[in-house]
Structure 1
Amino acid sequence: MLLLRSFPVSHLLKKRSSASAYSIFRTFNSTTQNENPYNKTLLRTLPNSNIQFYKLADLNDSRLQKLPYSIRILLESVVRNCNGHSITSQDVENVLNWEKTSKKGQEIRFMPSRVLLQDFTGVPALVDLAAMREAISANGGDPKSINPKVPVDLVIDHSVQVDFSRSVDSLKKNQKIEMDRNYERFRFLKWGAEAFDNMLIIPPGSGIVHQVNLEYLARCVFFTDNLAYPDSLVGTDSHTTMIDGLGVVGWGVGGIEAESVMLGQPISMILPEVIGFELKGTLPSNTTATDLVLSITKILREKKVVGKFIEFFGTGVQELSVADRATIANMSPEYGATMGFFPFDYQVSKYLHQTGRDPKKISLIETYFKENDLFMDSSQHTAPCSYSDTLVLNLEEIEPCLAGPKRPQDQVLLKNMQKDFHTCLTQPISFKGYGLSQEKAHQKVNEITFQSKKYNLLHGSVVIAAITSCTNTSNPSVLIAAGLVAQKAVEKGLSVYPYIKTSLSPGSKVVTEYLRISGLDKSLEKLGFFLAGYGCMTCIGNSGDLDKEVAECIQNNDLIAAAVLSGNRNFEGRVHPLTRANYLASPPLVVAYALAGRVDIDFETEPIGISSTGKPVFLHEIWPSKCEIQEIEDEVIKGKLFTSIYESISKGNTLWNELKVNKTSLYPWDSNSTYIREPPFFKNFSKTLVTTHEDLIEARCLLNLGNSITTDHISPAGNIAENSPAGKHLKALNVDKKEFNTYGARRGNDEIMVRGTFANIRLINKMCKMPGPYAIHIPTNEQLPVSDVAERYRQDNTSMVVLAGSEYGSGSSRDWAAKGPYLMGVKAVIAESFEKIHRTNLVGMGVLPLQFMNQQNADTLGLTGFEKFTILSKDVHTHPNKVVEVQTDSGKSFSVQSRIDTDLETQYYLHGGILQYVLRKILNA
């Protein structure tokens, strides 16, 4: 396999399969496959090589040139994988006819070239594969038949927390705690690297999965067995889309769906509409790529692009570096699209050279894209192809901005921040409001004593300032800008209050090196931004505890305290339980707000601080120019920097290398483990399908929810509270509070995760009198934690449903947002609309997604959740999108539409889930 870099063969990489993706797919699915009908008509040889490829132009179809570039890559995949069985010539015709079929919800099947995992989602995926090996062994099959059929890359990056900050030894301490906390998980992952072929494990402390993917793992083009084909992937983190900035098609899926791809199953997907987004002009000198992506997020959320591809084109595109493009592509989930794609062009080639890839391979990649009509000329002033719809944005109109305080799509211009925050305080409780009275909104200043000095805290006080997450820590320009703001602030004698939890968690070790070489690291450290770890930390909720004095002041005075982070997610309860106002911002603005100490500052009229000479200092005085940033970037960003960093990645670290594992094909489950347990998904599994679906009779409503319920509301995330059902369960197992760790770290334990499902403190159940993670056990009228109520119903064999509003399941916490409700006993979710991936995952777990029709919802139908629901759904698996009737014991009756959207999904649901379907397919092959 010819790659941009040669992967090191070591303990990290057990074995890469030599079989190509197309041959794997053909041989896995059926013994009655036909030869690919395009082998004779489309297989050609790249110039000056012996490498073959499927040349799309030789289809001799005029529709090809009208196809968006992202759709052309899907076309290449169905052509290459066409076998007359799983993928047919009709699929090829459907993609070629994209202009019409995309408007009709046409299903196609897509086989990605590889799968990307991070450890939060990778552990449960491997747990499921290990459990599948047990199930297949129990049914007389070969455990090793459960094995990745395509390359799988797993980066351990979601386990490190900001336990220590603001000190030179923060990194060392945090990494030591990370290893101690996650010993069982890491040992399990290392077992997986040994037990499964075709799997690469990147050890902890290497970087954020998406930046490692961008800088190192991305192939752009695979050259396997003398066959060239585009790099494409699905990942178990929704921000997998960051790779779209490199001209590589990729998007996030649930762990359930990723597991099926790992096992050789294609993704069943609806051929999407593609919105062409024209960019023109150049960004103003005082703005960053972060300001651009937050503006794009607002625009596209208003456009309602859920389930669609966004493809960027125009003269403005060539003005954006790959790092800028990756920032925009990363936040595709925030603006609701499946992906935000930048086709391959000369900027991508420049980036490949800049990051130290092999020049000969880069030349081959360029040749492939040009020969196969996949190379875009970004200098064109017109759309290069046809699109479902188009948008235009002049980059010169972008202004400095943030997003918040509760959602990434709620853009706030920097000049309006003060007014917007004050308005939010007294607005009714909503995505922009906190519902405070005028008296509480203007409460007195609260004094705290911290490190023997007195400080004031009030609404809007910044208590967390974090340069974190792959969105921005992939981009040298904004990190250098942050360093320059820090440098200029230090020169003027400015400082950050010591109670503010400041941290730097870059996407890769490359960042550390170029900050060190430029000398900017010292200035950041003087303001408290010491290196805290390499991984997704504050943005995922791994922000660690606040100092006791700060935490008590916030709680005792019900303060709307603030976090400012350079991340991509700021949903309620996600960043930290005590920061109710969370703002996304560029790294230099994170530094600025840390210096200011509050978010309700007007930087145009108020000084950011007082200099050592007693003079007021304004933000514009310490803001760097584009020329200053570019000069440093040109000086320090070199290919050899990336090469040297990634050459050492195979060495791991001492703590990782010392982990000892048993080299067995079946995992030795430990019944005493509180981290890794064999899940119950395959309990009573049989080789022959014997289950039949019945109507859902007199189900109880577990939750009646509103709009925009995210997977962060559903899926267990963040720290485990001591008084929560999961915390009580751990205490009963004699686990000390200090050893609780996070839900993310315990995703391999279903007993913990089911107790943490619907446990977000910001959840609002309309059936309850108070907000929070509670439900009503209707027979006794008791209000209890959601999992406790679900367990009572489950014990009584009472089925459950969930009522919800629009955009149910948006967000990034994927697999357990479906697994948790399934294990609770939830049989159906009735919502106004679903986020694409979550809907897919519900089907994959055998939970029925149902959608209100005729602009109805729970409120218009007068549903309270206290009814009994009978759903006539026994035949929903017979064909997609079936309309079924729902009846209540109160006499109401209404129609809903099944959101089992494809023929393949009907099979998944029939078998009780996608993994059961795959298991039976393998056993009966």
Structure 2
Amino acid sequence: METTLRKSDEHESISDGNELRHGSVVIAAITSCTNTSNPSVMIGAALLARNALEKGLKVKSFVKTSFAPGSRVVIDYLKDAGLMDYLEELGFHLVGYGCTTCIGNSGPLKNEFINDIQDKDLVVASVLSGNRNFEGRINPHTRVNYLASPPLVVAFALAGTVSINMEKEPLGTDLEGNLVFLRDVWPNSKEITKLIDKFVSTKLYTKEYSEIFKGWDLWNELKPPKEDVYQWEENSTYIREPPFFKDFPMEKPPTTDIKGARVIALLGGSVTTDHISPAGTIPLDMPAGRYLISKGIDIDNFNSFGSRRGNDEVMMRGTFGNIRIKNLLTNREGGWTSYHPTKEIMPIYDAAIKYIDSNTPLIVIAGNDYGMGSSRDWAAKGTQLLGIKAVIAESFERIHRSNLVGMGVLPLQFKEGESATSLGLTGEETFDIYGIREIEPLSELDVTARGINEEELKFKVIARLDTPIDIEYYQNGGILHTVLRNMIKK
């Protein structure tokens, strides 16, 4: 329970839970379709809320609270047990069912707190009972994000800080000024079991899931088109015709070597798919936000990347746009790069379009475990749409490697013991990759990197096309093209 952020280590700017400072909790979210399906932790969270209220504890004003279980059954048994009111009194109101804070849909913080965080450059936290806490995913203003059980989410909302040892330090004081510790409000396991036995029944699940296809008024009032083939709306900013089959050649194109490639991103190790794939808030001052503004969309209606994942124009603009990604071609954190011909620092999307316009192929160079984390299809789709032909990394996460192949992007691995650092690569070089025309599973390819002064560095990489089917997908331009060509042949 003791955090590594110690109040005595730095200075008085570390939060004690009473003021918005470093370490303050600004988001406390009971969320996720997984652990909210466990009645014991849900009832436990509600009992902790009840016990805290009886002691006179309150959630701090700067903590944004929310409650998003994966199933309506959760609300049913909490209401039947008379426990929902306690959560709501602490601010844990129902915001919906399904993915919220965990997928980056936390919603905005109050402007007064955003201003404080930005003006003082505060490192503030979210605590959520979700599945993921990747950098930059939860909220653009929380630099650290911690996963916890639903009862502990309530506890940290009461404490207001992650800089606390809850075994030794109090959550607050009661109405008489006495210290209240976590142990004083922690729910009794026997009471949890008793309430589960009484209020969590098969009948609740049967009732809710028997109506799962019934829908609600807004859904039922939709008037879908009657055509057999979907009619794309040119002006839609949510769903556009995917570009993957435009100008689709019926015959498999010839596989060629990559020549004259430039590095769009030079990355370190453990780059996750959440660093690559667009998620969460759409920033106003970056390419995706500018695109929506150009389409007449007000900032209040931007919604999130997740809600606009059917629009490739939005999603490709957000690829590699994570606010915490570190591209070593620049000194800036976030989705920025150096456009090599002019040395201008610009968003990765803007530079990629310039390279596409000049028919310049692109590559990404990275460290170990590239693409780790959740399987994000847009991490590969966006990569392909930005004109990236290959990724050279020290190692790949299994699923993302497969997804790159599925989008026709060539995954290449440095040989054992080699890396961008050991080879002295700066990312400013121009790259030629030979041997692609004769490529076989796990074959070695030759790479020539030419520096600014035309000095050449030659090294070998391993083609991470691991199987014959990988070869077929890559040579067809990806799995989509492979499947379509096979269908046409039949």
TM over 0.5: yes
**Structure 2 residue corresponding to 1:505, chosen from 62, 68, 79:** 68
Maintained 8 Å contact 2:375/2:399: no
1:807 paired with 2:369, answer: yes
1:851 positional shift: 0.7
Confirm or deny: 8 A CA contact 1:687 1:924 kept in the other structure. no
Where do 1:558-573 residues align within 5 Å?
Answer: 558-573=121-136
Please give the residue correspondences for 1:569-718 in structure 2 after superposition, counting only pairs within 5 Å.
Answer: 569-689=132-252, 691-718=253-280
State the 1:874 CA deviation.
2.1
Q: For residue 444 of structure 2, what is the amino acid of its counterpart? A: V
Q: 1:853 aligns with which of 415, 432, 436?
A: 415
| C-alpha displacement of 1:525 | 1.1
Match of 1:822 in 2: 384
Q: Which amino acid aligns with 2:206?
A: T
Q: Helix, strand or coil for the counterpart of 1:644?
A: helix
**Pairing 1:162-201 to 2, within 5 Å after superposition:** none
Q: Does 1:886 align with 2:447?
A: yes
CA distance in 2, matches of 1:906, 1:639: 50
Q: Are 1:903 and 2:468 an aligned pair?
A: yes
Cα shift readout 1:91-147 (whole Å, capped 9, x = no counterpart): xxxxxxxxxxxxxxxxxxxxxxxxxxxxxxxxxxxxxxxxxxxxxxxxxxxxxxxxx
Aligned to 1:126: none
Q: Does the aligned pair in 2 maintain the 1:809–1:839 contact within 8 Å? A: yes
8 Å contact from structure 1 (residues 876, 882) kept in 2:
no
CA contact (8 A) 1:608 1:618 kept: yes
Taking the aligned partners of 1:602 and 1:456, their CA distance within structure 2 comes to: 18
- Aligned equivalent of 1:787: 349
More helix by share: 1
CA deviation digits over 1:252-295, x for unaligned, max 9?
Answer: xxxxxxxxxxxxxxxxxxxxxxxxxxxxxxxxxxxxxxxxxxxx
Instruction: Kindly state the Cα deviation for residue 737 of structure 1 after the two structures are TM-superposed.
Output: 1.1
Aligned residue pairs: how many? 486
Q: 2:350 and 2:438 mapped to 1: Cα distance?
A: 30
Matched residue type, 1:882: S
Q: Which residue of 2 aligns with 1:193?
A: none
Where does 1:247-646 land on structure 2 (aligned, <5 Å)?
414=1, 416-417=2-3, 420-422=4-6, 438=10, 442-443=12-13, 456-646=19-209
Amino acid aligned to 1:614: G
Indicate if the aligned counterparts of 1:801 and 1:828 stay in contact, CA closer than 8 A. yes
Q: Is the contact between residue 44 and residue 187 of structure 2 (CA under 8 Å) also seen in structure 1? A: yes
Amino acid at match of 1:920: R
**Alpha-carbon contact 1:805-1:832 (below 8 Å) kept:** yes
AA partner of residue 322 (structure 2): N
Deviates more, 1:559-568 or 1:604-613: 604-613
* Conservation of the 8 A alpha-carbon contact between 2:32 and 2:70: yes
Letter in 1 for 2:92: F
List per-residue Cα deviations over 1:706-743 (Å, max 9, x = no partner). 01111111111111111111111111122111111111
Change (3 A) 1:788 1:487: same
**Shift of residue 777 of structure 1?**
0.9
Deviation at 1:532, TM superposition (A): 1.1
1:444 to partner: Cα distance? 8.1
- Give the drift of 1:750: 1.0
Distance in 1 of aligned mates of 2:16 and 2:339: 40
Deviation track 1:307-357 (CA, whole Å, cap 9, x = no partner) reads xxxxxxxxxxxxxxxxxxxxxxxxxxxxxxxxxxxxxxxxxxxxxxxxxxx
Q: Any idea what the Cα deviations from partners look like across 1:406-436, whole Å, max 9, x if unmatched?
A: xxxxxxxx1x22xx1239x98xxxxxxxxxx
Equivalent-residue separation in structure 2 for 1:881 and 1:565 (angstroms): 41
Please state how far the C-alpha of 1:446 moved relative to its aligned partner: 12
How far the C-alpha of 1:629 sits from its partner, in A, is 1.6
| Letter paired with 2:471 | T
For residue 829 of structure 1, give the secondary structure of its aligned residue in structure 2: strand
Summarize the Cα distance change of 1:738–1:876 in structure 2 as closer, same or farther, 3 Å threshold.
farther
Alpha-carbon distance between aligned partners in 2 of 1:809 and 1:800, rounded to the nearest angstrom: 18
In 1, Cα distance between the equivalents of 2:199 and 2:14? 48
In structure 2, the residue matched to 1:77 is: none
Selected match of 2:397 from 829, 832, 835? 835
Find the aligned partners of 1:472 and 1:721 in 2 and give their Cα distance: 30
- SS of the residue corresponding to residue 530 of structure 1 reads coil
Q: Per-residue deviation at 1:637?
A: 1.8
Q: Does the 8 A contact of 2:33 with 2:71 survive in 1? A: no
Structure 1 residues 682-761: aligned runs within 5 Å: 682-689=245-252, 691-761=253-323
SS in structure 2 at match of 1:470: coil
For the 8 Å contact 2:436–2:445, the answer to whether it is kept is no
Contact 1:473 1:506 in 2 (8 A): yes
- Residue 909 to residue 618, structure 1, CA distance change in 2 (3 Å): same
Displacement of 1:876 in angstroms is: 5.6
1:867 partner amino acid: E
Amino acid at match of 2:445: V
**Counterpart amino acid of residue 855 in structure 1:** G
Given that 2:15 and 2:24 are in contact with CA atoms closer than 8 Å, whether structure 1 keeps it comes out as no
- Provide the secondary structure at the position in 2 that maps to 1:457: coil
Q: How far apart are residue 558 of structure 1 and its match?
A: 0.7
Aligned residue type for 2:249: S
When normalised by structure 2's length, the TM-score is 0.96
Where 2:411 maps in the other structure, the secondary structure is strand
Cα displacement string for residues 219-250 of structure 1 (whole angstroms, at most 9, x for unaligned residues): xxxxxxxxxxxxxxxxxxxxxxxxxxxxxxxx
- Taking the aligned partners of 2:347 and 2:129, their CA distance within structure 1 comes to 33
Residues 876 and 492 of structure 1, relative CA distance in 2, 3 Å threshold: farther
Q: Provide the C-alpha distance between the structure 2 equivalents of 1:573 and 1:422, rounded to a whole number of angstroms.
A: 23
Does the Cα contact within 8 Å between 2:265 and 2:364 map onto a contact in 1?
Answer: yes
Counterpart residue identity of residue 619, structure 1: L
Paired with 1:838 and 1:854, the residues of 2 have a C-alpha distance of 20
Could you list the runs of 5+ residues in structure 2 that have no partner in the other structure?
A: none
User: What amino acid is the match of 1:774?
Assistant: W
Question: How many angstroms apart in 2 are the aligned matches of 1:746 and 1:583?
Answer: 27
Q: Measure how far apart 1:764 and its partner are.
A: 0.6
CA RMSD of the aligned region, Å? 1.7
How far residue 480 of structure 1 moved from its aligned partner, in angstroms, is 1.2
Alpha-carbon shift at residue 499 of structure 1 (Å): 2.9
- Per-residue deviation, 1:811: 2.2
Distance 1:864 1:677 in 2: 38
Cα distance in 2 between the residues matched to 1:924 and 1:542: 43
Task: Work out whether residues 30 and 69 of structure 2, in 8 Å CA contact, stay in contact via their aligned partners in 1.
Answer: yes
Q: How far is 1:585 from its partner?
A: 0.5
In structure 2, the residue matched to 1:285 is none
In structure 1, C-alpha distance between the alignment counterparts of 2:127 and 2:434, rounded to whole Å: 48
Give ranges in structure 1 of 5+ residues lacking alignment.
Answer: 1-413, 427-437, 448-454
Displacement of 1:510: 0.7
Kindly indicate whether the alpha-carbon contact (under 8 Å) linking 1:459 and 1:560 is maintained by their aligned counterparts in 2. Answer: yes
CA distance, structure 1, for counterparts of residue 168 and residue 192 of structure 2: 26
Rounded to whole Å, the distance in 1 between the matches of 2:14 and 2:170 is: 22
Q: What are the superposed Cα offsets for residues 639-682 of structure 1, whole Å, 9 maximum, x if unpaired? A: 11100111111210100011111122211111111111112111
TM-score (norm 1): 0.51
Name the aligned partner's letter for residue 330 of structure 2.
C
Q: Which amino acid aligns with 1:909?
A: Y
In structure 2, relative to structure 1, the CA distance for the partners of 1:444 and 1:903 (3 Å cut) is closer
Give me the whole-angstrom Cα distance separating, in 2, the residues matched to 1:444 and 1:528. 25
